Structures are given as structure tokens and as C-alpha cells.
Amino acid sequence: MNIALDAMGGDHAPEAIVAGAVEAARIYGVTVSLVGIPEVIEAELKKHDAKGLNLPIVPASQVIEMDEKPAAAVRAKPDSSMVVGCKLVKRNEADAFVSAGNTGGALAAGILHIGRIKGILRPALIGPFPTLKGACMILDIGANADVRPEHIQQFAIMGSIYAREVIGVERPTVRILSNGEEAGKGNQLVIDSFKLLEQTPSINFEGNIESKEIPTGLADVVVTDGFTGNIFVKTAETTARLMSQVITEEIKKSPWAMLGALLARNSLRRVRERMDDSHYGGAVLLGLSSVVIVAHGRSNAFAVRHAIRVAKQSVEQDILAKIQRGIAALHSEPAPAAVESSPTG
Amino acid sequence: MNIALDAMGGDHAPEAIVAGAVEAARIYGVTVSLVGIPEVIEAELKKHDAKGLNLPIVPASQVIEMDEKPAAAVRAKPDSSMVVGCKLVKRNEADAFVSAGNTGGALAAGILHIGRIKGILRPALIGPFPTLKGACMILDIGANADVRPEHIQQFAIMGSIYAREVIGVERPTVRILSNGEEAGKGNQLVIDSFKLLEQTPSINFEGNIESKEIPTGLADVVVTDGFTGNIFVKTAETTARLMSQVITEEIKKSPWAMLGALLARNSLRRVRERMDDSHYGGAVLLGLSSVVIVAHGRSNAFAVRHAIRVAKQSVEQDILAKIQRGIAALHSEPAPAAVESSPTG
């Protein structure tokens, strides 16, 4: 197994990226192809004991920065680590591509240089949201701002397969994000998608979900358009960060409160761990004909390692072939009973 | 000034509602007409020293419960406190209506029994979001799941007038909620609305805003469709509640952490105060031909009192006439310079 890794992308690149690659190569026994500027990568590798590990360097002279316009940057920088990484998997020289760089750039490079699975109308970005029971997988969280009900239906199928094969949920429940729980609540897209999801036998659709029910673990998979999903994810992140900031500010005003925070430090560490989703390995761009993982820009070595683990697991479980079969079944088998009894949808 | 108050609506009705009415009548010198079941209201009033205060009871025999389907409930319960309260303002027997009951019910009763300002296409629900500088006013947070750019344009005008006249921001800045900051980012509704907002001289439009920028105070008014706005508000509330819950759970596991929380209790109280928006008086249904305030279902007496204050202030500032003039100006004065120099939009 060979995972291509964008060594240049992310807030903590190249240090954290190379460190994560070393951990992953050691722990999971995979080859990690480090794509980027060779001298930079070599200098980082020297900091680690990487003897016996498979960490080849694949040269790429350009870097797509975090604040560049995605589509334009992908076209303007054909020798960037992102484009070179995507081309590696396209040519079957690597099994999957992982980047913690510019999300839009990874999307654009993946769509342009790897292409879609046959039958997939729109690839979607799927990501985890922490719940009291573990995590809920949400898609689309940002690949498609405008979608139609048939796209949402494909998101539901892809999300169910991912939750089952990678997260390990036996019979994942699917709900659609709405502004009310009852059937009939929602905007026109939700109302139309609801009807289509009800008629999709290969998924376990249970209706609408409000954002307030997501943290309770009511659904294993939540589908939505990429505009709403992106706002949901960013709003949750922002609120958590705002609250942490306000708590820190207020505690710093009082020596007693600072002593209190010291006494509670182990509890506060566990809070951070529970709110943290980095062991889920970031977001996955589902629907491309290769596995592409878009780790969070602020990924540390731990998050990069887990992104590589998710890539490995996605390849081993052959989720792309399963998605292709799931989509093909949707169009070829109109009788619900026949589809439901087929193996892994 | 006579404010009609739904004495029966809200999680803590009738106790908190009547208590808030007594406070408001005393502090602001207004008449508060308590609409609901007379015996229930009388029993609550006896708990307070309400001598000399103007707190008449207006009988209404029915109650719309928090979990009822709004439109159906409004039709099925013509003698509910919500319908009776709306009819009071429609007949000019009260100047404004305040309810902490079923939000959808208040919307439906307001639209059905009060009606819109001339020229307003869609009334919108405007509510506050706490920022590091104070609060940002967001609309629509739930009245209209599907809207068109011309609705968003009217929301921007109504929101600007509200921020100026009620919140006291001299020249409120307006932005549209999107999944990216740059012009051109967003779904089709955002992209089309952006162009229309740029051509609206009576507002101070500054472009897109991502949800992560809202808490920094970048905009005084944020416009969005009622579906996205509702999900934004509920996601923020949910995340803050989830985080509080996780913090409490973890602290309870350790006696040291519990001691720490005790030492930090004043700081934690200030955190709660800063995250609390109840002094903004809840959401206002803008665009109806009377002032209607939809306080949060969990409102306590303090929140009810402030909802009554916001109602009073909205009437005193004559914001409905200003909205009507703002909307009329939009259609009658195509020359930007002429409109911009006119007094208060």
C-alpha cells in the first residue's frame, strides 16, 4: 500500500506532515510517498529515525498556499504538490492521496486530475461531527454549493457505505439536515430530497434532523447541500472556539479562577479530547475514482497519521468499488426487495 | 403605550411571563395587557405587588402549545392567547404584541391576523448573536425557508433600520452569510443577492461573511435565507450547550476539578452572562404592520421584561413607518445619490 501525501500543505507543514508520515509508516506499515520540494522534505526527515521505513520523496516544485483561489491555483501550478499527488494516484502509482492543504485546491485538483466514479453526479466532502455516542458523518460539507435531490440521494448512499466500511457502524441511519424534525419541514430542496430518500431502499433513512439533535447521536449519517453543510460545520467550530476564548479571558481576570482551572486541568484536557475529531482523519472527498483525504489545515502529526490510516482503510475496504455498485444498483434495480437483500448495497 | 403580552406562551409560562410583565410595567411605565386564561393570570398576579401598575387582563380561553403544528393550531384555536393578542394590535387596542410561545405559531398568527407592511414581500425574523463587540443582528432566522434575492434585499433594509433605531448602531454594516468571504463565493441565491445588495444605496453593504467572522463583530447586520439562518442559530446554541454539558460531566468526575470550578465560579458566571442574549429581548418579526416580538421559549422574567422594552422602543422609534419608507424609496428612487442623502433611509 502506497499513500501519496502532500508534504507542503497545511498550517504546520512541512514539520507536522512529515512527522505524521513517519508515525504512519511505522505504525501501519504503509509506504508514504512524500510529495513536495525534495530539500525541504529531506531536512524534515533527518529529524526522525526513519530507518527501514518506506518514505520515498516525489519531487514537486510548487506549493498551493492556503489562501489561493483553488481552481486558478490548480491550473497555474501544474507542478504543485497537490497536482503531482493527484496525478500519482491517477496513474496508479499510489493508492490514495492525503493533503492538509487548501481544501478547495484539493477538491479542484481531485476533480480535474482524478475524475469521478462512473455514475456519480457530484463528489462530496464527508466529515465527522463529535456526538455523545461517538461521531456522526456529515456530507456534503463544502464541495457543492448548489445541489439537486438526486445529488443528495447519492450523498446518502456514499455516506452509508463510508460509515459502514470505515467507521464500522453496522446499519448506519441516515437523516437530512432541516429546520424542523417533522416530515414536510424544510426548504424545497429538503422536501424534494426527503421524498427521494424515502424511496431509496439501500439506505436506512429515518427522516429530518435538526442541528440540535446531531450531538445526541440520533443519526450516523447526515446529508445536506454543501452550502448548508459548510455553514453548519464552521458555525459549530466557531462557537466552540468563541466559548473557549471567553472562558480563558474570564479565568485570566482572577487568580482564584486560575487556581481553579489548574485544579481542573485534567478534566479540561478530557473536554478538549472529546470535542476533538482529529482521530477521524479529516474529511474525505467521496465519489472520485481514487481515495482523496482532505485533512484539516491545522492538522498536527497525530491528525496526519490518522488521515493516512483512514486512507489505508478506505483502500482496503475497497469503498470506491462498493460506492460504484451502490450507485449502479440505484439505477438498475427498481424493486426494493431485490436491492435490500443484495450484499452491501 | 400598551403592549399585549401572551401570558400563556413559553417554557416558564405563566410564572416568568407575568413576573416579567410586572417588572416591565414598573420599570418602563407601560401598560401590559396580559392575554390568557383570567384565573391563571390572576393567581400569578397575586404573587406580586402590582399596585398602581397597569396590568389589565384580556381573556383568551385557548393555548397554543410549544409542540403544536403552527398554521393548523392558529386556525384551530381562534380564542388562543396568540390569536387574541394579534387581533388586539390589529384593532389598535394595543401597540405591540409579545410572545415567548411557539415561534411558528406567533409567525402564523402575525401573518394571518396582522398582515404585512405595504411593499414588504416577506416578513422576516431578526435575532441577536453575541459578538466580542456586542451583538450582530441576523435575519431571516426562520420565517421563510425559501427566498429570492429581492427578499434578501428587503431583509437588508429592514435589518439596517432595526439596528440603527433599536440597537443604536449609527451606520450599520450589512453582510450576507456565505461559505466564503470573497465575492463570487456562495450558492446561487447568495451570488444573485450579492449583486442586488451592491446596488442598494440605502444600506451599507460590505460583502460576504463566513460564520466564523460573525463573533468578531465584523458586521452589524447579517442577511440570509430563513433555512440557513435557522440552522446557523440552532447550531451555535447547540454547540454552546454541548460544550457546557461536556465540561460539567468531566468536572463532576473529579473532586479536585469540582473544587476548581467552585474557585472559578464568578468567572464562569461572567462567561454565561457574555454568552447570554436575553437582554436583547428575543427575535422580532419585521415586516408586519404592527410590532411583534417572539421571545425565546426558555425566557425568564428578565428576558420577558427586555422583550417588552424592545417592543416599546420599536413603537417609539416608529420603525414600521421607517421600514415602509425604506421599501418605498427602493422602488421609487433609482438614483443612488438622491436616496443616500435622504434622512434615515
Mutate to test the interface with A, among B263, B274, B277, B298 (most CBs of A within 10 A): B263
The pLDDT confidence band at residue A279, using thresholds 50, 70 and 90, is low
DSSP string, A112-176: HHT-BPTT-SS-EEEEEEEETTEEEEEE-SSS-SS--HHHHHHHHHHHHHHIIIII--SS-EEEE
CA distance linking residue A296 with residue A342, whole number of Å? 36
Give pLDDT, residue A335.
45
With H, G, I as helix, E, B as strand and everything else as coil, classify residue B206. Answer: strand
Q: Which of A78-92, A124-138, B250-264 has the highest mean pLDDT?
A: A78-92
> Which whole number is the average pLDDT over A212-231?
94
Give pLDDT, residue B344.
41
Higher pLDDT, A281 or A298: A298
Mutate to test the interface with B, among A188, A228, A235, A241 (most CBs of B within 10 A): A235
For residue B102 the three cell numbers come to 411557539
Q: What CATH number is associated with residue B309? A: 3.40.718.10
Does a structural domain hold residue A304?
yes
> Is pLDDT above 90 for A224?
yes
C-alpha dist (Å) from residue B105 to B77, B78, B81, B128, B143: 11, 12, 11, 20, 11
Q: Are residues B205 and B305 in the same domain?
A: no
Chain B's closest residue to A129, CA to CA, is B239
> Which whole number is the average pLDDT over B99-121?
91
Buried b (16+ CB within 10 A) or exposed e, A18-44: bbbbbbbbbebebbbbbbbbeebbeeb
Give pLDDT, residue A336.
46
With H, G, I as helix, E, B as strand and everything else as coil, classify residue A226. Answer: helix
Higher pLDDT, B152 or A333: B152
> Is pLDDT above 80 for B53?
yes
> Which whole number is the average pLDDT over B89-100?
96
Q: Is B227 within 8 Å of A232 when comparing Cβ atoms? A: no
Give pLDDT, residue B276.
67
Q: Are residues B231 and B139 in the same domain?
A: yes
Q: Which of B76, B101, B96, B95 is nearest to B16 (CA)?
A: B101
Q: Are residues B114 and B217 in the same domain?
A: no
First to last CA, chain A: 26
Give pLDDT, residue B333.
54
Give pLDDT, residue A66.
82
Q: Is A231 within 8 Å of B232 when comparing Cβ atoms? A: yes
Does a structural domain hold residue B81?
yes
Report DSSP state, residue B331: H
> Is pLDDT above 80 for B303?
yes
Largest CA distance in chain B: 68
> Of the ranges A157-161, B83-87, B270-274, which one carries the lowest mean pLDDT score?
B270-274
Give pLDDT, residue B334.
52
In the chain, the amino acid numbered A298 is: R
Structure confidence by residue, pLDDT tens digits, B233-265: 989 888 888 888 888 888 888 888 888 888 888
> Of the ranges B99-113, B164-178, B236-250, which one carries the lowest mean pLDDT score?
B236-250
Q: Is B274 within 8 Å of A232 when comparing Cβ atoms? A: no
Q: Which of A179, A228, A260 lies closest to B142 in CB terms? A: A179
Q: Which of B238, B239, B270 lies closest to A250 in CB terms? A: B270
| Whole-number average pLDDT of chain B | 89
Q: Which of A309, A305, A312 is nearest to A17 (CA)?
A: A305
Chain A's closest residue to B177, CA to CA, is A231
Higher pLDDT, A246 or B156: B156
> Is pLDDT above 90 for A125?
yes
The pLDDT confidence band at residue A277, using thresholds 50, 70 and 90, is low
> Which whole number is the average pLDDT over B133-142?
90
Q: Is B263 within 8 Å of A256 when comparing Cβ atoms? A: yes
For residue A320 the three cell numbers come to 470506491
Does a structural domain hold residue B96?
yes
Does a structural domain hold residue A102?
yes
Does a structural domain hold residue A186?
yes
Q: Is A274 within 8 Å of B234 when comparing Cβ atoms? A: no
- The helix, strand and coil proportions of chain A, stated in percent and rounded to the nearest 5, come to 50, 15, 35
Q: Which of A322, A257, A275 is nearest to A119 (CA)?
A: A322
Give pLDDT, residue A342.
41
Q: Are residues B74 and B211 in the same domain?
A: no
Q: Are residues B250 and B310 in the same domain?
A: no
Q: Which of A182, A240, A260 lies closest to B261 in CB terms? A: A260
The pLDDT confidence band at residue A245, using thresholds 50, 70 and 90, is confident
Chain A's closest residue to B241, CA to CA, is A212
C-alpha dist (Å) from residue B17 to B21, B50, B120, B168: 6, 14, 31, 26
Q: Which of A145, A215, A259 lies closest to B242 in CB terms? A: A215
Task: Please name the helix (run of DSSP H) or strand (run of DSSP E) that holds residue A295, with its range, or none.
Answer: none
Q: Is A234 within 8 Å of B268 when comparing Cβ atoms? A: no
For residue A295 the three cell numbers come to 485533512
Give pLDDT, residue B301.
94
Higher pLDDT, B294 or A244: B294
Structure confidence by residue, pLDDT tens digits, A36-62: 999 999 999 999 999 999 999 999 999
> Of the ranges A118-122, B163-167, B309-313, B338-342, which one carries the lowest mean pLDDT score?
B338-342
Answer for the pair A264, A301: CB distance below 8 angstroms, yes or no: no
Residues in chain B: 345
pLDDT above 70 coverage of chain B, percent: 94
For residue B300 the three cell numbers come to 425568564
> Which whole number is the average pLDDT over A83-111?
94
Largest CA distance in chain A: 68
> Is pLDDT above 70 for A254?
yes
Q: Is A228 within 8 Å of B228 when comparing Cβ atoms? A: yes
Q: Are residues B205 and B292 in the same domain?
A: no
Q: Which of B188, B215, B268 lies closest to A242 in CB terms? A: B215
Answer for the pair A2, A93: CB distance below 8 angstroms, yes or no: yes
> Is pLDDT above 90 for B270?
no
Could you tell me the strand order of the sheet in which B96-99 lies?
B57-59, B31-36, B2-6, B96-99, B291-294, B283-286, B124-131, B134-139, B221-223, B173-177, B204-209
Nearest-Cα distance to chain A for B184, in Å, is 11
Does a structural domain hold residue A330?
no
| Whole-number average pLDDT of chain A | 89
Nearest-Cα distance to chain B for A109, in Å, is 18
Does a structural domain hold residue B337?
no
Q: Is B268 within 8 Å of A250 when comparing Cβ atoms? A: yes
Nearest-Cα distance to chain B for A285, in Å, is 18
Chain A's closest residue to B247, CA to CA, is A271
Domain interval for residue B158: 124-278
Give pLDDT, residue B261.
80
Q: For Cα atoms A225, A226, A228, give the angle at the middle one, nearest 5 degrees.
A: 70
Q: Are residues B32 and B87 in the same domain?
A: yes
Answer for the pair A25, A31: CB distance below 8 angstroms, yes or no: yes
Q: Are residues A135 and A270 in the same domain?
A: yes
Q: Give the number of other CB atoms < 10 A from CB of residue A130.
A: 22
> Which whole number is the average pLDDT over A165-184?
91
The total number of structural domains that make up chain B? 2
Give pLDDT, residue B299.
87
For residue B319 the three cell numbers come to 420603525
The pLDDT confidence band at residue A340, using thresholds 50, 70 and 90, is very low
Q: Which of B210, B230, B275 lies closest to A246 in CB terms? A: B275
Does a structural domain hold residue B233?
yes
> Of the ranges A11-25, A87-101, B42-56, B117-131, which one carries the lowest mean pLDDT score?
B117-131
Answer for the pair A4, A24: CB distance below 8 angstroms, yes or no: no
Q: Are residues B296 and B196 in the same domain?
A: no
Could you tell me the strand order of the sheet in which A2-6 lies?
A57-59, A31-36, A2-6, A96-99, A291-294, A283-286, A124-131, A134-139, A221-223, A173-177, A204-209
Give pLDDT, residue A26.
96
> Is pLDDT above 70 for A135?
yes
Give pLDDT, residue B163.
92
> Which whole number is the average pLDDT over B76-89?
96
> Of the ranges A70-79, A248-257, B32-41, B73-82, which one carries the lowest mean pLDDT score?
A248-257
Residue B240: list chain A partners with CB under 8 A. 239, 243
For residue B248 the three cell numbers come to 460539567
- Look up cell 422609534; give the residue: B317
Residue B84's contacts (CB-CB under 8 Å, 6 or more residues apart) are B35, B58, B59, B60
Give pLDDT, residue B281.
64
The pLDDT confidence band at residue A258, using thresholds 50, 70 and 90, is confident
Mutate to test the interface with B, among A125, A245, A263, A274 (most CBs of B within 10 A): A263
Buried b (16+ CB within 10 A) or exposed e, B270-280: bbeebbebbeb
Answer for the pair B275, A250: CB distance below 8 angstroms, yes or no: no
For residue B45 the three cell numbers come to 398576579
Helical H runs in chain B?
15-28, 38-45, 70-76, 81-90, 103-113, 149-162, 188-198, 226-252, 255-263, 265-275, 301-316, 319-332, 336-340
For residue B332 the three cell numbers come to 421609487
> Of the ranges B9-18, B55-64, B155-164, B293-302, which one carries the lowest mean pLDDT score?
B293-302
Q: Are residues A140 and A248 in the same domain?
A: yes
Residue A236: list chain B partners with CB under 8 A. 235-236, 238-239
Backbone angles phi, psi at A32, to 5 degrees: -115, 115
Q: Is B188 within 8 Å of A145 when comparing Cβ atoms? A: yes
Give pLDDT, residue A280.
66
What are residue B114's DSSP bridge partners?
none
> Is pLDDT above 90 for A209?
yes
Structure confidence by residue, pLDDT tens digits, A300-330: 999 999 999 999 999 998 999 999 888 888 8
CA distance linking residue A295 with residue B200, whole number of Å? 40
Question: Number of residue pairs across A and B with CB atoms under 8 Å?
Answer: 165
Q: Are residues A21 and A116 in the same domain?
A: yes
C-alpha dist (Å) from residue B138 to B27, B63, B126, B176: 28, 29, 5, 10
Q: Which of B182, B240, B263 lies closest to A239 in CB terms? A: B240
Give pLDDT, residue A281.
64
Q: Are residues A58 and A198 in the same domain?
A: no
Q: Where does a domain end: B224, B249, B278? A: B278
> Is pLDDT above 50 for A211?
yes
Q: Where does a domain end: B256, B278, B300? A: B278
